[in-house]
């Protein structure tokens, strides 16, 4: 990030924070509207916490998308300033229509999704892309919210650790070995300097500090390893077969308690399992090509499992909140099964009843996800896969708030590697909602955020996102046209596909 960008961001933040401080001083009623995923819960909570610390009054509202129905509803409530986090890019006109200044209300957006050119100069929108920052990998909404909180008061430095949870939740750990880059890295460094965060290279299993190691392997769903993911018994058998000491003094050992040598044995065992698996090879593959494919799969899986881990030092050991990725899992679970209030309370500091509730929610979330994936894999009519694009029909199966979680999980599956994955479902109001991701090892040079925006716009819907992860919402009568647009948009990049795209 250049000095010019630093200066322009500082100047922008000064004006933005002044507006918030004026609203607080005037005792105005503030509503924070945020997205129903981990990044949304974190960014909304950071802003709310910063406002409350200044003596302001605010209400947090969590929504799955910023559609006209949502805007109409919140506009009818008695609030003076609306702060929208982790949403809003490309929607300035729609927001203005419902809660614009002409209606005696004020609004601002704090976001990181790709921004259309016409909104670049809108002083109500604080977005990473305005400052030459790639919001897909260098700054999540939690990071942008942290910058606003810090501008409100430098004592909000302590919120930097919470922002790291949003970074890994949004899979912005895209540097070497899952490191953070850009503005994310700067904020993480602040948390580390304050003694709030440690960053270490390790095996990235979910529950590395809280669960028995075989359970941690089973609950690690990215990458999705057919035969191991969600299969506790299989994971136990695998790790037991290599002579790993799984118990000590009658208590299950966690990954964090394992030596470097033991961790190396775990990695080797996973690689051997993946390389011997036949489920990830195309049915038509010859034995030699199947062996080669499985070998590449094993190497890819190992690469995805080893990287930097982010430990929140002030959280209790054996707490789900100590590992940033596990913390993010809990927040995603709360958001996806419509218990966002629990996630917000945890972000705001509740470590008692809400944390216990969060642990129950995680278990429910896992069961729900497992059911979805099992059904998708068994009901093959739900998947139309041409080697470049995998269309997944989640109608009458996937709840609309779970759509992003499903597409993210499928993107980590060997069965969909190299593809663009588009998952759809019907919403409560009869619309179609889409979530798309680039699968493991996908080299198709398509910008999914722009593709979703273009195709949804053509169909009178809304859409957008990032290069490798995006979404859209359209009316049911435009389904065929939308699918046709997406297929054309992916296939025009046929010449940019790597060798694994059809494997």
Walk along the chain (503 residues) and give the pLDDT tens digit of each residue.
Answer: 334 355 589 999 999 999 999 999 999 999 999 999 999 999 999 999 999 999 999 999 999 888 888 888 988 888 999 999 999 998 899 899 888 766 678 999 999 999 999 999 999 999 999 999 999 999 999 999 999 999 999 999 999 999 999 999 999 999 999 999 999 999 999 999 999 999 999 999 988 888 999 999 999 988 888 889 999 999 999 999 999 999 999 999 999 999 999 999 999 999 999 887 644 443 334 444 455 556 667 788 888 899 999 999 999 988 999 999 999 999 999 999 999 999 999 999 999 999 999 999 999 999 999 999 999 999 999 999 999 999 999 999 999 989 999 999 999 888 898 999 999 999 988 999 999 999 988 999 999 999 999 999 999 999 988 899 999 999 999 999 999 999 999 999 876 554 333 32
pLDDT of residue 228: 92
Other C-beta atoms closer than 10 Å to the C-beta of 408 total 20
Domain 3-163 is found in CATH 3.90.1640.30 = yes
pLDDT of residue 281: 42
Paired sense of beta strands 81-85 and 469-474, if any: unpaired
User: Mutual orientation of helices 182-193 and 160-169 as an angle, nearest 10°?
Assistant: 140
Interatomic CA distance for residues 343 and 327, integer angstroms: 10
| Token pair belonging to 398 | 């996937």
Q: If we measure between CA atoms, which residue out of 307, 335, 311 comes closest to residue 321?
A: 311
Interatomic CA distance for residues 119 and 141, integer angstroms: 17
- Residue 482's region, left for phi above 0, alpha for psi from -120 to 50, else beta, is alpha
pLDDT of residue 304: 86
pLDDT of residue 389: 97
Burial profile 359-379: b = 16 or more Cβ within 10 angstroms, e = fewer:
eebbeebbebbeebbeebeee
Intervals of CATH 3.10.310.40 along the chain = 379-496
3 state SS of 216: helix
Angle 463-464-467 from CA coordinates, rounded to 5°: 145
Interatomic CA distance for residues 478 and 467, integer angstroms: 24
Intervals of CATH 3.90.1640.30 along the chain = 3-163
Residues 221 and 412: beta-carbon distance below 8 Å: yes
- According to DSSP, the residues that pair with 435 across neighbouring strands are 423, 471
Give the chain's radius of gyration (CA, Å): 22
Q: How many residues does this entry show for the chain?
A: 503
Interatomic CA distance for residues 127 and 145, integer angstroms: 10
Interatomic CA distance for residues 425 and 63, integer angstroms: 17
Pick the CATH number of 379-496 from 3.30.1330.40, 3.10.310.40, 3.40.630.30, 3.60.10.10: 3.10.310.40
Residues 273 and 227: beta-carbon distance below 8 Å: yes
Residues 9 and 144: beta-carbon distance below 8 Å: no
Residue 26 contacts by C-beta under 8 Å, 6 or more apart in sequence? none
């Amino acid at each position: 990030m250049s000095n010019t960008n630093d200066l322009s961001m500082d100047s922008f933040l000064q004006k933005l924070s002044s507006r918030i401080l004026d609203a607080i001083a005037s005792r105005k009623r503030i509503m924070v509207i945020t997205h129903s995923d981990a990044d949304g819960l974190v960014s909304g909570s950071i802003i709310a916490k910063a406002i409350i610390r200044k003596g302001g009054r605010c209400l947090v509202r969590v929504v799955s998308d910023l559609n006209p129905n949502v805007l109409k509803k919140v506009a009818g409530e008695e609030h003076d300033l609306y702060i929208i986090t982790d949403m809003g890019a490309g929607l300035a006109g729609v927001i203005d229509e419902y809660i614009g200044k002409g209606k005696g209300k004020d609004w601002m957006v704090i976001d990181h999704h790709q921004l259309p050119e016409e909104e670049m100069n809108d002083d109500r929108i604080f977005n990473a892309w305005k400052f030459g920052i790639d919001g897909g990998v260098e700054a999540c909404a939690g990071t942008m919210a942290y910058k606003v909180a810090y501008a409100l008061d430098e004592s909000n430095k302590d919120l930097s650790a919470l922002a790291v949870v949003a970074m890994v939740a949004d899979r912005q750990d895209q540097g070497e070995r899952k490191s953070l880059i850009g503005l994310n890295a700067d904020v993480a460094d602040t948390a580390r300097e304050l003694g709030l965060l440690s960053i270490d290279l390790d095996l990235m299993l979910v529950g590395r500090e809280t669960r028995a190691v075989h359970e941690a392997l089973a609950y690690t769903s990215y990458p999705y390893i057919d035969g191991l993911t969600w299969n506790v018994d299989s994971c136990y058998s695998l790790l037991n077969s290599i002579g790993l000491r799984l118990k000590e003094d009658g208590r299950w050992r966690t990954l964090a308690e394992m030596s470097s040598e033991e961790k190396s044995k775990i990695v080797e065992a996973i690689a051997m399992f993946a390389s011997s698996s036949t489920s990830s090879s195309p049915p038509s593959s010859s034995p030699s090509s199947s062996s080669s494919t499985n070998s590449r799969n094993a190497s890819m899986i190992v690469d995805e499992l080893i990287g930097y881990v982010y430990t929140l030092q002030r959280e209790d050991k054996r707490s789900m909140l100590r590992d940033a990725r596990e913390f993010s899992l809990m927040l995603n679970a709360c958001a996806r099964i419509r218990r966002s209030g629990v996630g917000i309370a945890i972000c705001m500091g509740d470590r008692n009843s809400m944390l216990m509730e969060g642990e129950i929610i995680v278990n429910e979330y896992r069961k729900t996800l497992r059911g979805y994936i099992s059904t998708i894999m068994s009901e093959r009519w739900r998947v139309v896969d041409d080697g470049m694009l995998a269309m997944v029909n989640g109608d009458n199966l996937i709840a609309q708030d779970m759509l992003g979680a499903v597409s993210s999980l499928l993107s980590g599956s060997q069965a969909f590697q190299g593809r663009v994955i588009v998952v759809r479902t019907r919403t409560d109001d009869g619309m179609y909602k889409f979530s798309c991701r680039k699968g493991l090892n996908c080299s198709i040079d398509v910008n999914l955020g722009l593709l979703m925006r273009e195709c949804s716009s053509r169909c009178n819907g809304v859409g957008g996102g990032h290069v490798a992860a995006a979404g859209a919402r359209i009316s049911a009568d435009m389904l065929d046209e939308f699918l046709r647009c997406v297929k054309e948009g992916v296939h025009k990049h046929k010449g940019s596909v790597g060798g694994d795209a059809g494997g």
